Chain A
Amino acid sequence: MTTYRVAGKGRVDTGQPVTFTFDGKRFEGCAGDTVASALLANGVHLMGRSFKYHRPRGPVTAGSEEPNALIGTRRGAGQFEPNTRATVQEIWDGLETTSQNKFPNLKFDIGAINDFAYMLFSAGFYYKTFMWPKNFWHKVYEPFIRKAAGLGVSPTEEDPDTYASRNLHCDVLIVGAGPTGLAAARAAAVGGVNVVLIDENVECGGTLLSKPNAEINGMPSWDWLAAELVSLRSLGVKIMTRTTAIGYYHQNMIGMVEKLTDHLSDLPKDTPRERMWHVRAKQVILAQGALEKPLVFHGNDRPGVMLAGSAQTYLNRYGVLVGKRPVIITSHDSAWDAAFDLADAGADVRAIVDTRETVDEELQSQARMRGIGMKLSHTVTATSGRLRVSSIRVNPIDDGKAGDGLIIPCDALLMSGGWTPSLHLFSHTKGSLTWNEDQTTFLPKDTPEDCTIAGASRGLWGIENVLIDGASAGVKVAMALGKESQTRQHKVTHDRIGSGVSQIELPTDKSSGKAKAFVDFQNDVTAKDLRLAVREGMRSIEHVKRYTTNGMATDQGKMSNINGLNIAADALNKPQPQVGLTTFRPPYTPTTFGAFAGYHRGDHFEITRKTQIDSWAQENGAVFEPVGQWRRARYFPKRGEDMDTAVGRECRTTRAHVGIFDASTLGKIEVVGPDAVEFMNRMYTNPWTKLAAGRCRYGLLLGDDGFIRDDGVIGRMSQDCFHVTTTTGGAARVMNMMEDYLQTEWPDLDVWLTSTTENWSTIALNGPKAAKLLAPLVDGVELTEDAFPHMSCAECTVAGMPARLFRVSFTGEIGFEINVPAPMGRKLWETLWQAGQEHGITAYGTETMHVLRAEKGYIIVGQDTDGTVTPYDAGMGWAVAKTKKDFVGMRGLMRPDLVASNRRHLVGLLTEDGTKLEEGAQIVFDPHQAIPMTMVGHVTSSYHSDAMGRPIALALVECGQNRMGETVYIPMPDRTIAAKITSTVFFDPSNSRVKIPSGEML
């Protein structure tokens, strides 16, 4: 048994010792301890150093609001995390913990020198200096400041743990399983609705865990709690502990994080460390309770100075006395209750110092009964003790001023400035707040969500009151869901419902400029910093916060916001509501990145979309590239081939014989309905009315700004059905755009759109022998030039599979695109591959596709166009209908700048010395200019062309179509390259090769 452990107290298992280390030293605690309770049981209060002044700090709370006791926690390789709250982290055998922000060690920290120069480091000091000489900020001052700032150190290894996420739908979600939440859960569940009750703590009970002496309906509170939990479970309530509601989002969506393994010594296999829950609840009840408010006085941050309620929690939940000779400083009754509990557990309570002139006689007599000295109308003006409080100075308050002091030796100072309702999640809903002058705090008012706030969160105090309020909330939400329920009577005895007054700063005998009375403990913001900010013109609480950093620590103002507001309002001489409260933002407590990422790590960061033919490509040695979420085969190298050699061979073979290409990633949209043709006329620049069924046409899609957005070949399968193809990257965008127009602009059209990208496997066959290879396999269409000319489409069977067959070419060769139901894709591919062997077939990837199309001057939207290119710029004015009434982009296309004479046109470029140009290289007319140069275009595509025996390039060049044959210049870092402007069609300009020679024997 350790020194400060009290036999018979607490809920920890004293029969089950647990050992862990802190800064390399072994400590023993009990199963159920947190790091903080275990260290306190060993008499250790010093657990950290503060952010700015490196002042020694110990825990000030016993919960997730802790600003001081932050530690590093480590399990094994890659399993380290900084800034863990020692008050929340449960101990387990082998846990390694370390203190932070100190050098060389926690007890002697050189950084504490800042504390002596604190006058220099006043609020916002860094805005006023470090400006000379100019370049010293980045080189000298900033690195120095950065090194001094920060708390713990970042992890540096990859995290081996996994994280999960789940969805949850329920009738009622109750956040907080204290008495309010428990009563609400019962009332709602009895009404027959499905209830989820969560709590961030290890166990349910909230304040009851710290108040074992209270009796509910004649039962000791802990017995009542145990019975109630059994009963709730039997009513079907889902109870989740170690689960924090981190944020409240639109339409009653709550994000919750459940911690699954951080308390375990041995990790179960395949269990995630944390799980993110996305909850949609029809009704939400917030029962988050209240947080105790520290008092603001000189030296209130010394280790051993702690909230009185937290000391009570350490005693009753963990069986730990935080001090054997504590003193209480309070302006609220609740601290008296804590003093009595500590005294009854054997502590020598040296005094209760209360700032109020009068205190309830019953409390005074209880104190007298225990022999505790009382100092009413007194204040604390100083604390002493280097690494832990050893004495305090207590002074009488006379007319608001501190009189002559008296030193009281002690080993802990327990403070209470009253309680602040927890309004965090309520504020996430953009709920409005109202100022309550009696309680000197904000209370919840209205919220746009289906959300009820109950208990201490709305300023109700005492177990009996909150049980009743919780039950009413439960009944209310059950009724809102159409169920009946009723409240139960609760009789609570031995509960002390206190009241108190709010103190801004405790009266002091020090000059106010000298007092170090901390408001934000972690960030070292003092009352005088807040007053300085106001003096310097910071009038909004947001300015005060940002100028001083008050409330920006890892507790996000849970300890400091209300005290900060009271002091700022006092300095401004304005009521608090006029100064305002800073916005609470998610997450409620700091939340692991991994929990947000969930399953989306590594290969699962985003899905990898693969075609049905991908596995064949993999087996045949393809090199892949990512194209959006798709993985596409880029080329198929044979042994010893690099990309250029492989691509050269694939190009050559395709032009000489036949090539096979997986085009399945092309976007496909089925446009069907009586008005399908009208819809197509309005969407695309081309005319569609006269396109016969069984024919296809290249379609060009513009944005309403008149610039090219997408393109693709579109087949008219029947009068009322179009098979639309889009670019691979544009599939979803085009579908969205079409739906957007259909639903918002043209609801009168009778058309249905279906994305069929993944319903079809699409295989392209190109080359002089394509028809010869395919014809024997096709049933239902005769593959001759007359029966099935270029730009035809048909439904037929190919190798026995139902197919949509297109005669199209993106290479300038005879070409077919065969669409079969997706799962048949690989079978068709293998059939064609087999049949192609005698024709010298090659498989080719995206790189060869790019080269072959560039040789023909076919554009790739997104590479040769960039959202600033019109059809005319791209040399495709022919695709714009001249007689249509309207199409998307028609008016945009008429704007003056889009028809100006100096636009950039897509042209071909051939370098004079045969160099291959760099894609993205900029073009100028005059290579001898000084920088900045006047640029007139850029290279969009550039390849070595096997067919041409030289490099070719496509480029956008100012007035390029009027400059055929002229020379332009490409200034590179080392030299300038000259190139001649040519047509974009480098190969077979007469397009003779797409024709199947007449009379060819098929």
Chain B
Amino acid sequence: MTRFNAFNLLKNAVSSNKNWTEQWPDSQPKDEYDVVIVGAGGHGLGAAYYLAKEHGITNVAVIDKGWLGGGNTGRNTTIIRSNYLYDESAKLYDHSVDLWENLSQELNYNVMYSRRGVLMLAHNVHDVQSFSRHIHANRLNGVDNRWLTPQECKDYCPPLSISQHARYPVMGGALQERAGTARHDAVAWGYARGAAARGVDIIQNCAVTAIRRHPDGSVAGVETAKGFIKAKKVAVSAAGHTSVVMQTADVRLPLESYPLQALVSEPVKPIFPCVVMSNAVHAYISQSDKGELVIGSGTDQYTSYSQRGGLPLIEHTVAAITEIFPMFNRMRMLRKWGGIVDVTPDRSAIISKTPVPNLYVNCGWGTGGFKATPGAAHTFAWTIAKDTPHPINAPFTLERFQTGRLIDEAAAAAVAH
């Protein structure tokens, strides 16, 4: 693996960039692995990376039905924050932010973690109460989050309209300054490169069709488009399609899959310095380094596996953006797309062992899995390696839906996440 740095960039420039080597090889499946991870998104690749790096387990394959990073990792609006209400969530997401802050150096790949601040707007009394609850809980948990008046919101994000004549005037906002964005593709590529360098096989365009089990019920391996692959352990991290894969091992997951749409504008010079989210008017927005306004929508109202959302929701989302930022009315939408998100009843993730011995699952991230990528991958690797939960993911079990020990951020929050 050629190290990435300014010196090597210069050296290769002089030789017309002809000596760069591949960042990960095009691996073909071996007969057997210690661990097979299904799903080559940020979560699956990251888990493989930490398995190899921190647990010394390198006989690992990450298998994907398409190209790596092609699911929600490469389709989301890249918001990273940790100002969650419940202790369990705050610990997990804050662990993630800790990892984000060093991820470029850790991977020797610039994932462009940009600590530009996430501002969540309150538009009614209920929002104010809810944000206040979050801010107090975050403070006592040591998580950065503070209240801004409407004028302070405007100072932090000049394009914002704080007109009191708006349909839903801004009553204030909760700001997490440590939060921000990152370059989504680079996260998948950085983990892929790091994992491959440690011996992990990344097998693309090879759909897993079923999980095969031993007569005693434990995992035997996976059936794939390229034949059967034996595995001591199987870990599934396949976002919207996790429930489909897990069904083949007779594990029924409490997941519903919805289309989620996002869009970008044409690129313009820097105009938008932070990330703004508003649940009351249903929109969130930031500006990419390329200059595009990156705008996220809510989930469509029906369940679907079609990565093709409807027009009305997009119209509502754009209307919400121009309502809060009237100056963007003449900007143009360049592209919109959809992804499939897997949603649990309590809107929190599952990072867990399963009733099937040696089968593990990391899913249910809904609309907010990107921000958790390093933290989820890191603790998932622990769970796979040690066959036991990491203290941070211990509450995020599958059993909680039977016991009722839920982590219901959606119920508690006035914000989408």
Spell out A's residues near B (CB within 8 Å): 51, 79-83, 119-120, 122, 125-132, 134, 137-138, 142-143, 145-147, 149-159, 161, 165, 247, 249-250, 253, 255, 276, 278, 428, 430, 511, 513-514, 528, 532, 535-537, 539-540, 542-543, 546-547, 549, 552, 554, 556, 583, 585-587, 590-594, 596-598, 600-606, 608, 625-627, 705-707, 862-863, 866-868, 892, 895-898, 918-922, 924, 931-933, 935, 938, 971, 973
Known: A537-B23, A867-B411. A556 touches B335 (CB 8 A): yes
Chain A residue nearest to B141 in the complex (CB): A932
A600 contacts across to B, CB distance below 8 A: 315-316, 319, 323
B59 within 8 A of A: no
B31 interfacial by beta-carbon distance below 8 Å: no
**Contact of A920 with B167 in the complex, beta carbons under 8 Å:** no
Of B114, B140, B331, the residue contacting A922 (CB under 8 A) is B140
Which of A129, A542, A626 is close to B123, meaning CB atoms less than 8 Å apart? A626
Q: How far is the CB of A478 from chain B (nearest CB, A)?
A: 27
Closest to A896 in B: B403
Q: Which of A150, A249, A626 has the most CB of B within 10 A?
A: A150
Q: What chain B residues lie within 8 Å of A587 (beta carbons)?
A: 333-336
For residue B13, which residue of chain A has the nearest CB? A119
Query: A897–B330 contact, CB under 8 A?
Result: no
Within B300-350, the residues touching A (CB, 8 Å) are 306, 308, 310-311, 314-316, 318-323, 326-337, 345
* CB–CB B315/A863 < 8 A: no
Alpha-carbon distance A539/B26, docked complex (angstroms): 8
Nearest 8 A-B pairs (CB), nearest first?
A: A867-B411, A513-B16, A150-B291, A920-B132, A537-B22, A920-B133, A895-B404, A540-B67
Give Cα A892 to B116, complex, Å.
42
Contact between chains at A554 and B266 (CB < 8 Å)? yes
Question: Would you give the 0/1 interface string for B98-131, flagging 1 where the beta carbon is closer than 8 Å to chain A?
Answer: 0001101100111011111000000111100111
How many angstroms from the CA of A591 to the CA of B183 in the assembled complex? 25
Quick check: is B168 within 8 A (CB to CB) of the other chain? Answer: yes
Say yes or no: A608 contacts B167, CB within 8 Å.
yes
Cβ of B266 and Cβ of A82 under 8 Å apart? Answer: yes
Asked if residues B403 and A626 are in contact (CB atoms below 8 Å), the reply is no
Whether A151 lies near B267 (C-beta < 8 A) is yes
Fill in one digit per residue for B250-274: 1 if any A CB lies within 8 Å of its CB, else 0: 0000000000000001111111000
Contacting residue for A82 out of B69, B268, B323, CB 8 A: B268
The distance from the CB of A310 to the nearest CB of chain B, in whole angstroms, is: 22
Interface 0/1 of B2-44, CB less than 8 Å to A: 0011101110111111101111111000000000000000000
**Are A129's CB and B4's CB within 8 A?**
yes
Q: Which residues of B contact A428 (CB under 8 A)?
A: 308
The answer to whether B404 and A897 have CB atoms under 8 Å apart is yes
CB of A155 within 8 A of CB of B14, answer: no
* Interface residues, chain B, with chain A CB atoms under 8 Å away: 4-6, 8-10, 12-18, 20-26, 66-70, 74, 87, 101-102, 104-105, 108-110, 112-116, 123-126, 129-137, 139-142, 165-168, 180, 183, 185-186, 189-190, 204-205, 265-271, 281, 287, 289-291, 306, 308, 310-311, 314-316, 318-323, 326-337, 345, 400, 402-406, 408, 410-412
**Interchain Cβ contacts under 8 Å between A and B, 23 examples:** A120-B9, A128-B4, A129-B4, A137-B113, A138-B180, A142-B114, A149-B289, A150-B290, A250-B310, A513-B17, A535-B18, A535-B22, A549-B290, A592-B332, A596-B319, A602-B165, A705-B345, A867-B408, A896-B403, A918-B136, A931-B140, A932-B141, A973-B139
Q: Which of A158, A601, A918 contacts B327 (CB 8 A)?
A: A158
What is the CA–CA distance of A587 and B327 in the complex, to the nearest angstrom?
21
Pairwise interchain contact A705-B404, C-beta atoms closer than 8 A: yes
Chain A residues with CB under 8 A of B183: 127
Q: Identify which of B6, B267, B306 contacts A430 (C-beta below 8 A).
A: B306
Given A134-B101, A134-B104, 5 new contacts (CB under 8 A): A128-B5, A585-B335, A598-B315, A897-B406, A920-B131
Contacts of A922 in B (CB 8 A): 133, 136-137, 140
Q: Looking at the assembled complex, report how far the CB atom of B41 sits from the nearest CB atom of chain A, in whole angstroms.
A: 13
B334–A938 touching, CB < 8 Å:
no
Are B411's CB and A868's CB within 8 A? yes
**B87 and A591 form a contact (CB under 8 A):** no
Task: Determine the chain B residues whose CB is within 8 A of the CB of A603 once the complex forms.
Answer: 167
Q: Which residues of A contact B335 (CB under 8 A)?
A: 556, 585-587
Would B318 and A597 count as touching, CB distance under 8 A? yes
How far is it, in angstroms, between the C-alpha of A478 and the C-alpha of B97 when the chains are bound?
Answer: 60
Shortest distance between the CB of A564 and any CB in chain B (Å): 16
Closest to B318 in A: A596
User: B13 contacts which of A120, A511, A590, A921 (Cβ < 8 Å)?
Assistant: A120
Assembled-state Cα–Cα distance A549/B288 (Å): 13
A273 and chain B: residue at smallest CB distance: B330
Which residue on chain A has the smallest CB distance to residue B5? A129
Min distance, Cβ A357 to any Cβ of chain B, angstroms: 31
Given contacts A146-B289, A585-B335, contact A137 B323 (CB under 8 A): no
With A250-B310, A921-B132 as contacts: A593 and B332 at CB distance below 8 Å: yes
| CA A892 to CA B404, docked complex, whole Å | 8
> Judging by beta carbons under 8 Å apart, are B25 and A537 in contact?
yes
For B70, the closest partner residue in chain A by CB is: A542
- Shortest beta-carbon distance from A524 to chain B in Å: 12
* A606, chain B: closest CB distance, angstroms: 6
Q: Given A122-B13, A122-B17, A146-B291, answer yes or no on A153-B268 (Cβ-Cβ < 8 Å).
A: yes
A867–B411 Cα distance when bound, in Å, is 5
Chain B residues, Cβ within 8 Å of A898: 404
Chain A positions within 8 Å of B205 at CB level = 540
Shortest Cβ distance from residue A83 to the other chain B in the assembled complex, whole angstroms: 5
Give the docked Cα–Cα distance between A938 and B137 (Å): 9
When the two chains form the complex, which single residue of B6, B314, B400 contacts A596, counting CB atoms closer than 8 Å? B314
Q: Across the interface, do A932 and B167 meet the contact criterion of CB distance under 8 Å?
A: no
Residues of A within 8 A of B332 (CB): 81, 83, 590-593
A932 and B142 within 8 A (CB): yes
List the A side residues contacting B281 at CB < 8 Å: 605
Q: Contacts A142-B289, A587-B336 known; A513 to B168 CB distance under 8 Å?
A: no
Whether A605 contacts B319 by the Cβ 8 Å rule is yes
Residues of B within 8 A of A155 (CB): 327-331
| A168 nearest CB across to chain B (Å) | 13
Contact B116 A896 (CB under 8 A): no
Q: How far is the CA of A940 from the CA of B401 in the complex (A)?
A: 26
Task: Please indicate the chain B residues that have their CB under 8 angstroms from the CB of A707 in the complex.
Answer: 411
How far is the CB of A7 from the nearest CB of chain B, in Å? 37
Residues of chain A with a CB closer than 8 A to B14's CB: 119
Which chain A residues lie closer than 8 Å to B329 at the CB level?
A: 155, 158-159, 161, 592-594, 597, 601
A601 touches B319 (CB 8 A): yes
Known contacts A537-B23, A537-B24; A147 and B70 CB within 8 A of each other: no
In the complex, A897 Cα to B306 Cα: how many Å? Answer: 36
Are A593 and B328 also in contact (CB < 8 A) when A705-B404, A868-B408, A868-B412 are?
yes
* Cβ A625 vs Cβ B124 within 8 A: yes
**Contact of A594 (CB < 8 Å), options: B6, B190, B322:** B322
Contact A250 B87 (CB under 8 A): no
Provide the bound-state CA to CA distance between A145 and B70, in Å.
26
CB of A634, distance to nearest CB on chain B (Å): 9
Known A155-B330, A159-B329, A625-B124: A511·B402 in contact at CB below 8 Å:
no
A647 to B411, CA, bound (A): 30
Q: Tell me, rounded to whole Å, the shortest Cβ–Cβ distance linking A731 to chain B.
A: 16
* Cβ-defined contact, B323 with A138, below 8 A: no
Residues on A with C-beta less than 8 A from B101 are 134
Given the interface pairs A130-B110, A896-B404, the reply to whether A83 lies near B20 with Cβ below 8 Å is no
Q: Taking A131-B105, A146-B270, A150-B270 as contacts, is the C-beta distance between A536 and B22 under 8 angstroms?
A: yes
Within 8 Å CB of B291, what residues of A?
146, 149-151
A694 → B minimal CB distance (Å): 36
> Are B67 and A542 within 8 A (Cβ)?
yes
Q: How far is the CB of A758 from chain B (nearest CB, A)?
A: 20
Q: Judging by beta carbons under 8 Å apart, are A597 and B9 in contact?
A: no
Docked-complex contact B404 and A81, CB < 8 angstroms? no
Q: A137-B112, A159-B330 are in contact. Are A514 and B16 (CB under 8 A)?
A: yes
